[in-house]
Structure 1
Amino acid sequence: NFKGRMGDRDAYVYLGSPAVVAASALAGFICAPKEFAERPAGTAIRHSEKKTQSPGSVEIIAGFPPSVRGRVLFVDKDNLNTDGIYGSKHTYRDDMTPEEMAAVTFENYDPNFNTLYRRGDIVVGGLNFGSGSSREQAATALKFKGIPCVIAASFSETYKRNAFNNGFVVFECPELVTHFRATLKNRAPTTVASEITIDYGKSVLTTDGKSFAFPPLSPAAQKLIVAGGAENLVASRLRAKSQKTA
């Protein structure tokens, strides 16, 4: 998503079908598969069964907040891609300040989002939040905005990794999304919901008098948040190592 991302500023990126990619990987150069038997596409859709998460206590490391409380902004959209979170017209600009990045979040999804938002609001989204492009700004811009975390029914794995690598908390709680969809009437693309309290130590969040469990945030994940991201964490470890050998 930016010049040089593939390792060289003059590198080219080619888009190919799975068959072409597999054949090219084996051949060592771009080519078409020599033999490819077509078959009708299947029509069955399989959904993995989501099991209710059991609460689990976890040790909170120094510097990580044991709990967070904030008003919910419910983004009622499944498969909200990164272009809806942070528009492509901003992605390739390297002259934007964190404040400018924060100001344009969700403008492609809901121009009213930034009118409703107030600092400290917690975003709750639907299934497959952050799908599509792997642009990291879709996570960092929300962090710059002052959003303490995003909770969703599920996340794109790329988005989830980008978030933690940049020191931003995201976690899944599909039961919470089901609750809001059942109780919030006259929902808009972005709807202001009730306050929520997140207890990271007990891995439980509470809203509307109900409690919902979510996967515990491991010490490794917490360290990424406290350090401000993977780059800072690695740098601090290298400094500590060099001081020991000095």
Structure 2
Amino acid sequence: MLEIRGLNAWYGASHVLHGVSLSVAEGEIVALVGRNGAGKTTTIRSVMGLMPKAAGEVRFAGTDLMALPAHARFRLGLAYVPEERRIVPGLTVAENLRLGLVASPGRSGERAAIDRIAATFPRLAERLGQQGSTLSGGEQQMLAIARAMMAEPAMILLDEPSEGIMPVLVEEMGVLFRRLRDEGVTLLLVEQNVEWALRLADRAVIIDQGEVVHESSAAALLADQAIQERYCAV
């Protein structure tokens, strides 16, 4: 579904991705792991069209993305949940959810989409009229994920979803991500919580200093402590 070939990216004069190549098949969860600053977030920001300068080949469901702006990529069915969550202050939970439909025609009406999300996220269903910025950190993360799901994307890019979240909510997210995969949604998961990500994912890719250095099944990497310590240890 997602094919990345020879991806390079820059922040100003700093060349931070060096020919990154990886693929994500339809209906799988791929964990993109590595140390802080290795290039994980830059990779998914490049896929989403949010880097100031990027070059290479990125194809999604057969479409070349490199000439398309971020909103056009979203319209193709590619959603993004940033690490910062970006819950809009002053808007309620329901209003934040509606933003997920603004840039996309969606496949169902607004009411049906909110009802579907409320059924998936009971915590949010109880707080639709509450300002989103007053939710707990874990609830805000759930809201950011729910907002991305509003337009029924084919694939979701997730940046550090477990960061700063209580363990019980992290486990709930894991259950949700597996359910989404079983329903046909493809997930690319950038995560610093390596053990959790590997237990969740089907395949794993390690990036180090802007280059892909390892690819395997998630189970194989979970069992290989030497590679984890070499490339993922903080």
In the superposition, the TM-score normalised over structure 1's length comes to: 0.29
| Higher relative contact order, structure no. (Cα contacts within 8 Å, ≥ 6 residues apart) | 2
- The structure in which a higher percent of residues are helix is 2
- The structure in which a higher percent of residues are strand is 2
In the superposition, the TM-score normalised over structure 2's length comes to: 0.30
Highest Rg: 1 or 2?
1
